[in-house]
Each structure stands twice: as C-alpha cells, then as structure tokens.
Chains A and B, each alone.
Chain A
C-alpha cells in the first residue's frame, strides 16, 4: 500500500536525511513510527504523503507516485499533522466544507466519534477551541473519512488522560484489514497496546521494521531475570520495580512488548538489532 524505494532526501544537499531508505507498509496494520528528535519522522510522513519530493527513489502510495498528489489517492488518504490547521469554521461547517471530498465519509461515525471524545457540534468556532479539542475534532474527522491510509503525526500530544484511552479505543475499532494506519509518536506508552508493527528510524535508515509478534519472538522483555537468565542482554534499565531488560529470546518465551525499552535497546545496539531482524 505504501512503498518507499531507495529514497534519498535532505534539506541540505551535503547532509542527506535519508540515504537509500526503503520501506514497505501493508494494510491491516497499525504502524508505530519511532525515532529520536530530528530523525526525520515527520519528513518521512510528508514524503509518503507527496508533500515532500525525494531527490532520488520512489514513494508509491496506493499504486501511484505520491508526488503527483492525484485526487484518487488523496481521497483515500488522510494526514493528521502535529501542528494542526483549523479554519475559522464551526464543526458542522467544517464537515460541510471538507467531507464532500471523501467519498467514504460517514456523518454518523463523525457524530459518534465526537460524542466519544466529549465534543459536540455546538462547541463554537474550531479555531477558538483548545489545542486538545482541535485535535479531537480532527481525529474524529480523520477516522470518519474511512480512508484506506491514515497517517497521524503525534496524535496524542495535547490530549488529556481520558481522551488518550478513548483515542486508543476509537483507533482499535476503526482499524480493519483494508486500512493502513501509521502513527508517528514519542509517547510510546500511550499507544503500545495499539501498535502491531514497529518501524524505527535512525540516522537515515530503517533500523527495524517488524511486527510485534516477530519482535517478542526474537526479543525477551524481562524484569530481574524472572523469565529467563539466558540470552544476550541488549538493554537494561534500573527502576524502583526492578531491573528491566531486553535480551535475546533464546528459549522463545512469551513476553509483552515494551516499546520504550525496545526503542532504547535498538538505539544502543543498532547493528545487532538490525541484523537480528534481517
């Protein structure tokens, strides 16, 4: 559904952000795109969306070149940016203005999502709402468009605690086999239960692109060697609850994926983690 082939891109020619970056993303998954500040997550999302043009390589979305920004593609694609733009419109005016562009938009779903996020259409002008409320309106709209590809950049930034759990619930209900959802985030604890594919971007390359099943099959997330004392330790972290570890899962023991530990393990053992998932 999204295919990036040998992408090369940089804001400064002498310092490319991506070098020969390749990535394939399939429908039916919720991808978590992780990376350090400045790793290029937002830029990568923009390249997928046809908002930035790679210097070399191809960005293919829904079998079309993303750079062409074809209406048939844009109708089936929604990009929820981190710094949102909301026009000076009421929620129902916004719906009237922009819903007609999306053939699969559902008014009933939009109303339902707004209700779940504790917003209603009488909330006044969107640009006068708080940051979190603006985000909620756009999340509800994005989900109601029922596009095949949904890209969200830091969607939980600015959401209060109850809204984060509502967001997870809505996302889980909106995900289906025909839909590809990509979430770029630093707030991995908000979304770890939601994400079933993890992509880690580092230094212009994809360090890791694997399913949560594959990750827990190869890596063991343990506390104080309770599950196993075997396997090479890639990362450990002291905490009041014990010593959290990420190690090689030599005995194929089941464990729960911890995205934050995984990320730290991957960043501190780039080559080993990368080779493990090749």
Chain B
C-alpha cells in the first residue's frame, strides 16, 4: 500500500466534495439547532445522535456513488491506485473525517441552540447527553457503518435502502429460524418485561457469564464484524467490472 496514492485519493476527494460536505455539515447543524429549539428543553434527548447516525449511514452511498453508473465507474476503477488503497481511503473518510465533521456540526448546532434558549430565558441545553455513548454503542455504530460501506459497493443503485432491506430480510429469516427451532422443541420466547431488549429464553441458561466476559464478547464480536465487512468490501471492489 502506497501512502502517496492514499494522499492523492484524499486530495481528489476533497477537491471534488468539500462544498457538498460543508453544505451537509451545515444542514446537520441547522437540523440539530431547529430540532432542539422546536422541542424546547432537551435534557434526555438523543436527537443529535439520531440525526448524525442517519447522515453517517447515508454517507457511504455518496462515497461510492461513482460505482453506481457505468462511465463514472470506469473513471473510478481507472484511477491509478490499488483497490486496497481505495477502500482504505474511503474507510478513513467514513470512519474519521465524516464522524469528526458530524460531531463538530452537532456541537455547533447545540451551542447555537443553547445560546438561543438562554436568551429566551430557558435553562439551555445539557451537552453531556449527546456524548455519553458507551464503547459498545460506538462500536455498534461503526459496525453499522461497515455494513453500509459494503452495501454501497455491493449494490448498484439505492444502496442504503437495499442494505436496509436485505438487513431486515436477514433479521426476519434469522428470527423466524430461531422461533421455529424453539417451537419444534416445545420452547417459546417470553418477554421478561415490557422492554423489547430484555427478551429472555423461557428456559434457564446453564451458562453464566461475568459482566467483563459479556462485554469482551460484545467488543470482539463487533470488531470482527467490522473487519469482516471491510475485507468483503475490498474483495467486492477487486471483483468489480465496468
């Protein structure tokens, strides 16, 4: 892998996209600002994170838009850089540059909202809520980004919607298989309480895990899936024809 090629790819990206990116960051800041103002106080509100995640999952579709029609695809595939350099460059853009841009835009929207609410005599905005994500939550967002990154190389058009559609289909089939397996064995899924995330098996698990073990498994699982989808993206780009 040649650093100079990555630098050239980044250079080409910024020359082509800096205005669009600036516009999008401005839009995000405005959405956060108006969203918070319209909603009044925001003490337990994750609106900025919600909007940022939407921006983030749509971004890979823009990043690989050249692959979605024939002439731009020939142009992109003919750029003198290897497939791995192209994937790494776009990983840097999606995982670092764009995330930093979104955080700054959110912060800008929040500061402006805070100032506006102060002037209007409200308490202002509680900032800590926006950045209180835990490590697993952040890893989950990055894993989701890796899936959409792969989807934007794999699918030819409407890549974000196609990825969501296929994701839902896989989730549905997987849940149906589990339900079917349990039903065949005379077991059911019973909710422990009203919260959906607290579904538990109706039978006692003989395996008990410590908190650290459970967290480690989550971190390792998410990290492996992130790596897996980026490797798949590289392989898919390598196989891409125009």
- One digit per residue, 1 when the CB lies within 8 angstroms of any chain A CB and 0 when it does not, for chain B 92-103 equals 000000000000
* Contacting pair A101 B8 (CB below 8 A): yes
* Contacting pair A71 B80 (CB below 8 A): yes
Within residues 69 to 83 of chain B, which ones have a CB less than 8 A from any CB in chain A?
70-72, 74-75, 77-83
Residue A160 lies at the interface, judged by CB distance under 8 Å to chain B: no
Residue A98 lies at the interface, judged by CB distance under 8 Å to chain B: yes
Q: Within 8 Å CB of B71, what residues of A? A: 81, 83-85
> In which size bucket is the chain A interface?
20 to 34
Q: Within 8 Å CB of A89, what residues of B? A: 15-16
Within residues 72 to 104 of chain A, which ones have a CB less than 8 A from any CB in chain B?
74-75, 77-79, 81, 83-85, 87-89, 93, 96-98, 100-102
**Of B11, B72, B74, the contact of A100 (CB 8 Å cutoff):** B11
- One digit per residue, 1 when the CB lies within 8 angstroms of any chain B CB and 0 when it does not, for chain A 57-71 equals 000000000000111
Residue B12 lies at the interface, judged by CB distance under 8 Å to chain A: yes
Residue A51 lies at the interface, judged by CB distance under 8 Å to chain B: yes
Cα A99 to Cα B126 in complex, Å, equals: 48
- One digit per residue, 1 when the CB lies within 8 angstroms of any chain B CB and 0 when it does not, for chain A 248-277 equals 000000000000000000000000000000
Which single residue of chain A is at the shortest CB-CB distance from B8?
A: A100
Cα A70 to Cα B82 in complex, Å, equals: 6
**Of B70, B79, B83, B241, the contact of A101 (CB 8 Å cutoff):** B79
Q: Within 8 Å CB of B74, what residues of A? A: 46, 51, 79, 81, 85
- One digit per residue, 1 when the CB lies within 8 angstroms of any chain A CB and 0 when it does not, for chain B 1-33 equals 010010010011001100000000000000000
* Contacting pair B80 A102 (CB below 8 A): yes
Residue A53 lies at the interface, judged by CB distance under 8 Å to chain B: yes
* Contacting pair A71 B85 (CB below 8 A): yes
Which single residue of chain B is at the shortest CB-CB distance from A138?
A: B75
Cα A49 to Cα B73 in complex, Å, equals: 13
> In which size bucket is the chain B interface?
20 to 34
Say whether, besides A85-B72, A85-B74, A74 and B16 are in contact (CB < 8 Å).
Answer: no
Residue A52 lies at the interface, judged by CB distance under 8 Å to chain B: yes
Q: How far is the CB of A65 from chain B (nearest CB, A)?
A: 12
Q: How far is the CB of A61 from chain B (nearest CB, A)?
A: 12
Q: Within 8 Å CB of A85, what residues of B? A: 66, 71-72, 74-75
Q: Within 8 Å CB of A70, what residues of B? A: 82
* Contacting pair B2 A79 (CB below 8 A): no
**Of B5, B12, B66, B78, the contact of A79 (CB 8 Å cutoff):** B78
* Contacting pair B80 A75 (CB below 8 A): yes
Q: How far is the CB of B93 from chain A (nearest CB, A)?
A: 15
Residue B242 lies at the interface, judged by CB distance under 8 Å to chain A: yes
Q: Within 8 Å CB of A75, what residues of B? A: 80
Q: How far is the CB of B163 from chain A (nearest CB, A)?
A: 24
Say whether, besides A79-B74, A85-B75, A71 and B15 are in contact (CB < 8 Å).
Answer: no
Cα A34 to Cα B147 in complex, Å, equals: 44
**Of A69, A71, A98, A100, the contact of B77 (CB 8 Å cutoff):** A69
* Contacting pair A87 B241 (CB below 8 A): no
Within residues 139 to 197 of chain B, which ones have a CB less than 8 A from any CB in chain A?
none
**Of A53, A71, A77, A97, the contact of B241 (CB 8 Å cutoff):** A53
- Of A50, A85, A93, A102, chain B has the most CB atoms within 10 Å of the CB of A85
Which single residue of chain B is at the shortest CB-CB distance from A51?
A: B242
Cα A53 to Cα B8 in complex, Å, equals: 27
* Contacting pair A51 B241 (CB below 8 A): yes
- Of A49, A74, A96, chain B has the most CB atoms within 10 Å of the CB of A74
Q: Within 8 Å CB of B66, what residues of A? A: 85
Q: How far is the CB of B82 from chain A (nearest CB, A)?
A: 5
Q: Within 8 Å CB of B78, what residues of A? A: 49, 51, 74, 77-79
Which single residue of chain B is at the shortest CB-CB distance from A49?
A: B78
Which single residue of chain B is at the shortest CB-CB distance from A78?
A: B78
Q: Within 8 Å CB of B81, what residues of A? A: 71, 74, 101
Q: Within 8 Å CB of A49, what residues of B? A: 78
Which single residue of chain A is at the shortest CB-CB distance from B15?
A: A97
Q: How far is the CB of A165 from chain B (nearest CB, A)?
A: 27
Q: Within 8 Å CB of B83, what residues of A? A: 69
Q: Within 8 Å CB of B242, what residues of A? A: 46, 51-52
> What are 22 A-to-B residue pairs whose CB atoms are below 8 Å?
A46-B242, A51-B241, A51-B242, A70-B82, A71-B2, A74-B78, A74-B80, A77-B78, A79-B78, A81-B75, A85-B72, A85-B74, A93-B16, A96-B15, A97-B11, A97-B12, A97-B15, A97-B16, A98-B79, A100-B8, A101-B81, A102-B80
Closest 5 CB pairs of A and B: A74-B80, A85-B71, A97-B12, A97-B15, A51-B242
Interface residues of B (CB under 8 A from A): 2, 5, 8, 11-12, 15-16, 66, 70-72, 74-75, 77-83, 85, 241-242
